[in-house]
């Protein structure tokens, strides 16, 4: 059997991995218009989490739970859960593309460029040390 998977994003790669586990003898072809390999996006997320000044901020009091943000998030983050709680999205998997903020009908989500990354997470004043420390817990 030969299977074609459209897209080399998180969902496409996950489907290929699972299919390989279930049917190791099947041929899998991934079709994508992207020039980057699938593993480059998580690497961008690590950079975003520890070193970038970009962030997605929320105003939870205005979220109407439409789910557009989670539906369009290419990284598969449940953005709506963050928005409903009024929590900023600070995750290694978030690459700060801003798609969620673009599809939010009420403007609850905003892509911001902070002056520093110092307000992002505990230990962010020393991002290299925080990154190294996070690797110890894997």
Are residues 72 and 122 part of one domain? yes
Are residues 87 and 45 part of one domain? yes
Are residues 92 and 56 part of one domain? yes
| List of residues 6+ apart from 94 with CB closer than 8 A | 45, 48, 49, 56, 75, 77
- DSSP tag of 26: S
Average pLDDT over residues 125-138: 71
Instruction: Give the pLDDT score at 115.
Output: 60
Q: Which CATH number is 106's domain given?
A: 3.30.70
Are residues 74 and 19 part of one domain? no
Are residues 63 and 17 part of one domain? no
Are residues 112 and 47 part of one domain? yes
Summarize pLDDT for 86-101 with one digit per residue, the tens: 888 877 677 778 889 9
Summarize pLDDT for 22-42 with one digit per residue, the tens: 988 999 888 887 665 555 555
Are residues 127 and 92 part of one domain? yes
Residues pairing with 29 in the sheet? 4
CA distances, 91 to each of 3, 49, 75, 79, 136 (Å)? 33, 6, 10, 11, 17
pLDDT at 78 over 90: yes
Q: What is the mean pLDDT of the chain?
A: 78
pTM above 0.85, yes or no: no
Instruction: Give the pLDDT score at 69.
Output: 93
Is residue 18 very low, low, confident or very high in pLDDT (cuts 50, 70, 90)? confident
Residues pairing with 30 in the sheet? 5
Q: What are phi and psi of 60, to 5 degrees?
A: -60, -25
């Amino acid at each position: 059997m030969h299977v074609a998977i459209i897209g080399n994003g998180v969902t496409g790669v996950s489907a290929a991995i699972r299919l390989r586990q279930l049917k190791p003898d099947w041929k899998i072809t991934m079709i994508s218009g992207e020039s980057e390999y699938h593993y480059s996006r998580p690497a961008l997320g690590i950079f975003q989490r520890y070193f970038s000044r970009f962030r997605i901020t929320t105003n939870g009091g205005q979220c109407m739970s439409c789910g557009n943000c989670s539906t369009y998030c290419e990284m598969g983050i449940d953005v709506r859960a963050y928005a409903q709680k009024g929590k900023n999205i600070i995750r290694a998997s978030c690459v700060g593309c801003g798609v969620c903020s673009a599809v939010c009908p009420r403007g609850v989500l905003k892509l911001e460029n902070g002056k520093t990354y110092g307000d992002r997470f505990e230990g962010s004043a020393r991002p290299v040390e925080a990154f190294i420390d996070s690797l110890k817990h894997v």
